[in-house]
Structure 1
């Protein structure tokens, strides 16, 4: 049976195999696996950093990962709301829009209902 491709392999494997290798082996294979922070905590740090830096292209993936790592929609809404005052209102508004889409796509309850 063929090995399933990682998200990085699917996205850029044809053009940047070394970047895929570093992403899969170092970032997700080493850094994300370190025991000093839980995957849940790493997701919270990553999401808030992406919101703060307005890195919207990567945000959807990491919002889904955060949900998979145990953060709730309510917690993500609260983190993004908190970030509005530190990272800027437009950043938070864009992030909330992405979270709303991610929750709808994942068939997860909307925290506002």
Structure 2
């Protein structure tokens, strides 16, 4: 259901890279994220782990918030980063935990 507001992808990229925004909305979030083989919670867990391991910290804030919305806890996300410290490196884990710590609390916007 449309909220009347552009998606985050269209808001960020719409006029500059409209096809990328369209593919993000329609293929990534409209198809891949809605497949039934994994729950949204599981997809968030996999996505966050991949972003941490690949050191893609620019995408982490959005996906960490999404992971929380999809039912993962802060404690679980910290544990993912801690576990990955030994596989993808200490800096990747430290950066992820700092980003998670610094996320705005959604309760503060109410």
- Aligned match of 1:111: none
Q: CA deviation at 1:5?
A: 0.6
Which portions of structure 1, spanning 4 or more consecutive aligned residues, are displaced by more than 4 angstroms?
A: none
Quote how far apart the aligned CAs of 1:106 are.
1.7
Measured in 2, the distance between the counterparts of 1:2 and 1:77 equals: 32
Residue 61 (str. 1) matches residue 62 (str. 2)? yes
Q: Does 1:44 align with 2:45?
A: yes
Q: 1:24 to 1:72 in 2, by over 3 A?
A: same
The answer for unaligned runs of 5 or more in structure 2 is none
SS of the residue corresponding to residue 56 of structure 1 reads coil
Aligned to 1:90: 91
TM-score when normalising by structure 2: 0.92
Match of 2:59, SS state, is: helix
How far off its partner does 1:4 sit?
Answer: 1.3
TM-score (norm 1): 0.90
User: SS of the counterpart of 2:58?
Assistant: helix
In 2, distance between residues paired with 1:10 and 1:42?
23
| In structure 2, C-alpha distance between the alignment counterparts of 1:106 and 1:34, rounded to whole Å | 29
Q: Partner of 2:101 in structure 1?
A: 100
Q: Does 1:23 align with 2:24?
A: yes
Number of residue equivalences: 106
Counterpart residue number, 2:81: 80
Superposition deviation, residue 2 in structure 1: 7.4
